[in-house]
Amino acid sequence: MTSPGLAPVLAEPAGTDPGPGGAPARRGPVPVAALRGLAGLAGLVAVLEVVPHTGLVSADYLPPASETVRTLGTLLAEPTFWTALGDTLTGWGVGLAVAVVAGVAAGVVIGSVPVLRAVTASTIEFLRPIPSVALIPVAVLLYGTDLRSKLLLVVYASFWQVIVQVLAGMQDVDPVAEDTARSYLLGTWGRVRHVLWPTALPYVMTGVRLAATVALILTITAELVIGAPGLGHEIAVAQVSGAVPEVYALVLVTGLLGVAVNLAARAVERRALHWHQSVRREVTA
């Protein structure tokens, strides 16, 4: 039985109904929902543009949206911005890759050996809730403001997102499938490849998607607090300098980066799980 708290987030997409021959077909609400989302975003931009002009909030603390966009355009022409963006993406990408590889490997090994899973369960449950930001003093003492400080926080936070999902997937294997594999005399590697991994893969992709978001959050946090090079460090410098429009412009960039990371993670998930029922439902008839 799959634990509800660890089940992969693979919900059926809204706005689908069975088409001819049982194949799902898109309905009208999907584009309507997308238009509503864009309308909500446009409304937010309009509010951010109007509020500073009404005097409710001083433009010194909340510049109009148009000014933020102009500042962003200026930043895009500066080499320092692209260097900071590259530093942030480097810390995020390397940290996420290490966390995914380590989490998948550890999860498969632990989940394949019941005794090992029982021995490590309490340790995992003890270490997993520790906030990554609590390790900032340790990271600074060990590595200063080096890239390794950022990676320590990113890897630690992202690793648990992956391993917990992998362990849940390994536990969700159908006993009948396992018995069938044993009856065919499949070895350990054969069981992992043909039984355990296909079952765990949806969980793995969920863990990767969650880890990608967490890794970005910790990357920006490390840059803000530790002073490691990147967008977070540029935000801190702009804040200290009193460059309020630049602060909002950089925050907007981090938000757009988060959206891009989420969309990319979902695209990879759909690609990897093209055979899975939850993804096949999205195919238009």
Q: For the residues of 31-87, what is the DSSP string, one character each?
A: HHHHHHHHHHHHHHHHHHHHHHHHTSS-TTTS--HHHHHHHHHHHHT-HHHHHHHHH
H or E element: which one contains 237? helix 231-241
Predicted pLDDT at 272: 79
Predicted pLDDT at 278: 58
Q: How many residues does the chain have?
A: 285
Phi, psi (5° rounding) for residue 228?
-65, 145
Predicted pLDDT at 96: 95
Task: Give me the residues of the chain with pLDDT under 70, please.
Answer: 1-31, 33-34, 174, 176-179, 181, 184-188, 190, 192-194, 274-285
User: 96-112: buried (b, 16+ CB within 10 Å) or exposed (e) per residue?
Assistant: bebbbeebbebbbebbe
- Pseudo-torsion of CA 40, 280, 273, 265, nearest 10°? -10
- For residue range 243-282, list pLDDT tens digits in order: 899 999 999 999 999 989 998 988 888 887 766 665 555 5
Tokens, residue 245: 């429009």
User: pTM for the complete prediction?
Assistant: 0.78
Give the integer Cα–Cα distance in Å for 11 and 205.
13
Contacts of 30 (CB under 8 A, 6+ apart): 13, 14, 15, 16
Predicted pLDDT at 32: 73
Predicted pLDDT at 195: 73
